[in-house]
Chains A and B, each alone.
Chain A
Amino acid sequence: MGASGTGETVLAYDEAMAAYDPVMGLEVHVELNTATKMFCGCPTTFGAEPNSQVCPVCLGLPGALPVLNAKGLEGAVRIGLALNCTIASWCRFARKNYFYPDMPKNFQTSQYDEPIAFDGHLDVELDDGTTFRVEIERAHMEEDTGKSSHVGGATGRIHGAEYSLVDYNRAGIPLIEIVTKPLVGAGDRAPEVARAYVSALRDLLRALGVSDVKMEQGSLRCDANVSLRKRVSDDATSSEQKAVPFGIRSETKNVNSLRSIERAVRYEITRQAARLAAGRRVVQETRHWHEDTGVTTAGREKSDAEDYRYFPEPDLVPIAPEAAWVEQLRTTLPEPPAQRRRRLQTEWGFGDLEMRDVVNAGATEAIEATVVAGASPATARKWWMGELARQANTRGLELSALAITPAQVAELQALVDAGTLNDALARQVVEGVLAGEGGPAEVVAARGLELVSDDGPLIDAVEAAIAAHADVADKVRGGKVAAVGALVGAVMKQMRGKADAARVRELLMERLTP
């Protein structure tokens, strides 16, 4: 949905960087994966029939009141702790007042000047292995809004639509908004930092088990604020550069993939640079990202004075997490992703590049589980980065969405190691598993893919091949050992692939060499 915008004039990235220093602020909204909504007992299942998961509370019916979901609070505190934040000892919800049809109460129950978590950081590893520290301003709790679909009109936006439909299933789903401090000093790596930050945050949230973090389903959404200031130093981290006041920022909304985040930030830098270079101003506004054309277009103009009339939510009591409870939650935190990655790399004996590819492919968890199930790290990597990555790619799926489990991959590799399957047969077994024919052993049995390990039929085939290709056999006898490949091929064809090629070669050589 959404028509593509037409891009503005942009400056080449290098030119933009020569003249300007980018400053970013990233706001990430994470839907928690609690079973019920933030302030009522409605289920949160994604993709249910529209308006089937609603009640008086999340529909904002007159008289209904919110009650805080304890699991939502727990998730918020764990996220805050994992981001090295201070957890508020006392804080409140606040009402953010504005009118919009997908907001049942015409105010969003959120937090304002008393967030549950504040002043943290996340260390983010960049492609070259260096680390960039992203300072976290705050993480606060709020509720999601309903979802509007605008039908008719040219843009798919509310303006110009013939009518709009609102699904309130999403209204009241717990959200945590994580806001960075202004990210300075990234220089020309700003787009990469943005992508690496959201990627690291996604890994962290996944490891915490608090969210599905599916960007394509909107359970993790990113808004990118970008501004440019004059470059006064080659070193983006120098004190003179840091002393330059920030420029006017744009806010690009709902950028929904890691790749898009990098592209959107990059585009905004080149767009704003072109304006500034031409002596024009950057407008403070909301912008929309267009995945297809790779540009942003202007949305609502936004001023700092936009007045949400925040005030403390009188329908909810203040939250005062007990220190002992917070400390108990701290013990439930997973190993930080960067640390974990380094540990696994050492344990697995992967090179830096190998490990980076694994991480970028999102295969770390799968490989780890496959190793736990008994495969060697090298074979686990070979499967997940090779055949399975290819299968996922042709199906347009993430690795984790493939219909094969790490345990099945380990089982498959065990069959290869035992000589029951060769690589080609193993790939056929993968096809079978993905097609839902059962586990590897079942597919092997059902499709009759087991290697022929009895030498009897093999010897027959070997002798038949020597007889049929006497010229080739003579070459081998004459010392051209490489020619035996053609005979192996002939035997394998005869056996319809169900033979161990190494054994076939052995049998041939026994007969053709003294």
Chain B
Amino acid sequence: MATELTHHTAAQLAEGLRAQQFSAVEVTRAHLNRIAEVDGDVHAYLHIAGNTALATARSVDAALAAGEQLPALAGVPIAVKDVMATQGVPTTCGSAILKGWVPPYDASVIRRIKDARMPILGKTNMDEFAMGSSTEHSAYGPTRNPWDLTRIPGGSGGGSAATLASFTAPLATGTDTGGSIRQPAAVTGTVGVKPTYGAVSRYGLVALASSLDQAGPCARTVLDAALLHEVMAGHDPMDSTSLTGQYPDVVAAARRGALGDLGGVTVGVVRELGGDGYQAGVRQRFDEAVDLLTAAGAKVVEVSCPSFTAALGAYYLILPSEASSNLAKFDAMRYGIRVYPKGVDDPTAEQVMAATREVGFGAEVKRRIILGTYALSSGYYDAYYGSAQKVRTLIQRDFAAAFEVADVLISPTSPTTAFPLGDKLDDPLSMYLQDVATIPANLAGVPGMSLPAGLAEEDGLPVGLQILAPARCDDRLYLVGAAVEAALTSRWGGALLDRAPSLDREAV
């Protein structure tokens, strides 16, 4: 019974709960049991909130028994990335500097999840302050890829992706600054969506790079992602950059896409996001997806976005610049850990700040703070931050031109499949290259999705297909994504994750 419930999709759980085939408490308990069983190996969670999750589940069961009308995902459990301020629950961002911090308030997206009556199972592991592509930069140890426990689950949202791939949560939240939702989805065989910038409130998300950060849904199916997307997105007066006006109906788009007809849709293959530097098995699965889109009735064209080749460079100036300022608040004065300098009798506030930041931040965070501080310094601003902003404008123009000829763009999500833990830790540049295909969407603020495209022949590990759409046209991701998913699952005779190794103790 437990296994069955944890292997349901969110849509199936929602339906079963509404039909009272099982209770929300049973569903939550099944997931808590599964966590106890497999998360010791996977380490997707930093904190389990079992009691509050069960309390929410009980209230949903009571409401269902009383015949109340509830939100679509009421009673469906969720795991939350540890970057989201959650009242009364430790929120560390994977950093030692926030060890023990319990926020006195909820992020707006957490408020929405609570309003949707979804039991929050716990907080998921991540690269420290969302800086990384492997979740190895967590101060609390890495998360392991459920497909191969010796490999990385992607990052920064490796914890969230791994909960889905290890069936310890049917849904999870992520944040995507340069690929932190999509790349983990790609390497774990799951679905992840970065919505249009401003679609999901950033209020209460511990900021990495304010102009790039965007929260979104992580799920095992396109429809599940759409259901969660609908919960998370919406205007928030607490976030000045939050979008106003009409939001597209992503759930309807996912249901329509699942019918498999892409007639009238033009798909652009981005020439600059593929070819050299992409693993052979990744390229092969991508080419198959292109054929499949054609078969579904889509018109496939090639588009060129020449400025994308400068995206990585621009990104690694803008992100550290904003991050260096956003992370300045971690100074031991009001929250988080406080470290007194050794050998100083009567330390000043500045010395305490410095000692705390020295101990509290990991190497990657320090590296980016130093980069950003340098890039913003007077005399360098124009050459670095200023030029990067110009590249950003060029990338936006490339997208605009491409969307003149194509409704959506596609590429591989990540150049490689999951690499072994420790492989790139000493080589930050090759780590940064993991996000080469996902970064342009963040720089332009457009939405992107990654969904499973199959397994690479050479290593049997998941490959992701990325779909990009114009700003505010998130529904197109779901339409095309659901069509691809339907065609692939029918070809595979089931979901890709069905082929993932069982993590059950007795099976090891």
Residues of A within 8 A of B (CB): 56, 59-68, 95, 97, 99, 101, 104-107, 158, 164, 166, 305, 307, 309-311, 314-317
Contacts and interface: CB of A to CB of B under 8 A. Distances in A.
Contacts of B211: 314
A66 B328 CA distance: 16
Contact of B328 (A106, A158, A311): A106
Contact of A105 (B107, B329, B376, B378): B329
Nearest to A316: B240
A64 B98 CA distance: 15
Given A99-B353, A316-B240, 9 more contacts: A65-B202, A99-B331, A101-B331, A106-B328, A311-B322, A311-B385, A314-B211, A315-B202, A315-B207
Contacts of B210: 314-315
B345 to A, nearest CB: 13
A211 B161 CA distance: 52
Nearest to B201: A65
Contact of A65 (B103, B203, B377): B203
Nearest to B374: A309
Given A99-B353, A314-B322, A317-B240, A107 B204 contact: no
Contact of B334 (A104, A305, A316): A104
Contacts of B335: 61-62
Interface in B73-109: 84-85, 91, 93, 98, 101, 103-105, 107
A50 to B, nearest CB: 14
A307 B377 contact: yes
B434 to A, nearest CB: 24
Q: Is the interface of A mostly helix, strand, loop or mixed?
A: loop
A315 B239 CA distance: 8
Interface size range on B against A? 35 or more
A63 B205 contact: yes
Given A99-B353, A309-B377, A60 B107 contact: no
Contact of A311 (B84, B330, B381): B381
Contacts of A60: 329, 334
Contact of A97 (B203, B330, B376): B376
Interface string B186-215: 000000000000000011111101110000
A97 B372 CA distance: 12
Contacts of B85: 56, 61-63
A165 to B, nearest CB: 12
Interface string B213-248: 000000000000000000000000111110000000
Contact of A67 (B237, B331, B350, B385): B237
Contacts of A105: 328-329
Contacts of A56: 85, 103-105
Contact of B239 (A65, A95, A104, A107): A65
A67 B240 contact: yes
A166 B93 CA distance: 26
B104 A62 contact: no
A62 B323 CA distance: 13
Contact of A317 (B204, B241, B349): B241
Nearest to A307: B378
B98 A62 contact: yes
Nearest to B336: A62
A309 B93 contact: no
Contact of B93 (A59, A62, A99, A315): A62
A149 B376 CA distance: 32
Contacts of A305: 378
Contacts of A101: 331, 333, 349
Interface string B320-332: 0110110011110
Nearest to B85: A63
Contact of A61 (B103, B331, B373): B103
B349 A62 contact: no
A392 B101 CA distance: 52
A59 B205 contact: no
Contacts of A63: 84-85, 103, 107, 202-207
A434 to B, nearest CB: 45
Given A65-B239, A106-B329, A317-B241, A311 B206 contact: no
Nearest to A317: B240
Nearest to A41: B238
23 contacts: A61-B104, A61-B335, A62-B93, A62-B98, A63-B107, A63-B204, A63-B206, A65-B202, A68-B240, A97-B325, A101-B333, A105-B329, A106-B329, A106-B331, A107-B325, A107-B328, A164-B349, A305-B378, A309-B324, A309-B378, A314-B209, A314-B210, A315-B202
